[in-house]
Structure 1
Amino acid sequence: MKSTMIMLITAILITNLMMIMNMFLSKKTLLDREKSSPFECGFDPSSSPRIPFSLKFFLIAVIFLIFDIEIALLLPMMPTMVMSNIKQWMMTTIMFICILIIGLYHEWNQGGLNWAK
């Protein structure tokens, strides 16, 4: 127990020391105008270099990731059915699927699934 605590404290100290050293050694000037300006073959850019990001595509990507994780959580439920108590397995699965359906209804209600706008 004592050796575990010593190892934990040592790891925390080494991590903090490395982060502090990184902060002091990697000072960068953020006010350099030439580095922050866009480079386009030596000429001034003809259009805005920063295209506005569509928040709708970001929300679609986040919703896709959420549903992808939900599927990854649902897939192992079938093999575990054989090894567990069927009543407890059914209650857990039904509760999990109900939470997913409530989340889907909330997304639908908030307009997160209307992509035609």
Structure 2
Amino acid sequence: MVDLSHYLPILLFLGVAIALSSTFVFLPMAVSRLTGSHKPTPEKLSEYECGFPAFEDPRSQFDVRFYLIAILFIIFDLEAAFLYPWAVSVFTLGWTAWISMMVFIAELALGLVYAWKKGALDWE
């Protein structure tokens, strides 16, 4: 006969995980229904990230400054992603790693100065 009592902690953990995840999913939905915040209004349906209506003619002109800012954000976000592993291992890698990272940061700083001077960061 197989002793299944060793699996009881796993089943308890699974039950608690299912209960908590169900609570985190369904409780906000229920609160939204009870408070009336699920009713759409023109303000809730308006665009707020891209700056142009989502369901219009796709060939219409739109402002590209949003995309320039997004691309600059991605570039500097990737810089931070490269800095973390470098900072952890810089003392074991030596001067070569330090100099190469300083060149990398200088290139990014020059790119930021260039974008700043060209007005890519200005939002009217």
**TM-score normalized by the length of structure 2:** 0.49
Report which structure shows greater RCO (CA 8 Å, sep ≥6): 1
For residues 20-79 of structure 1, the C-alpha deviation after alignment (integer angstroms, 9 at most, x for no partner) is xxxxxxxxxxxxxxxxxxxxxxxxxxxx93253221111111111111111111121111
Q: Which runs of 4+ in 1 moved over 3 A?
A: none
Aligned residues: 68
Amino acid at match of 2:101: T
Could you tell me how far 1:110 is from its partner in structure 2?
A: 0.9
Q: Which runs of 5+ in 2 are unaligned?
A: 1-54
Structure 1 residue runs without a partner (length 5+): 1-47
Q: 1:90 aligns with which of 89, 94, 98?
A: 98
With normalisation by structure 1, the TM-score equals 0.51
Is residue 73 of structure 2 the alignment partner of residue 57 of structure 1? no
Q: Which residue identity does 2:81 align to in structure 1?
A: A
The answer to whether structure 1 residue 78 and structure 2 residue 68 are counterparts is no
Using the alignment, how far apart are the partners of 1:98 and 1:49 within structure 2?
A: 42
* C-alpha RMSD of the superposition: 1.9
Find the residue that maps to 2:110 and give its secondary structure.
helix
Counting aligned pairs with the same residue, the percent is 32
- The aligned amino acid for 1:110 is K
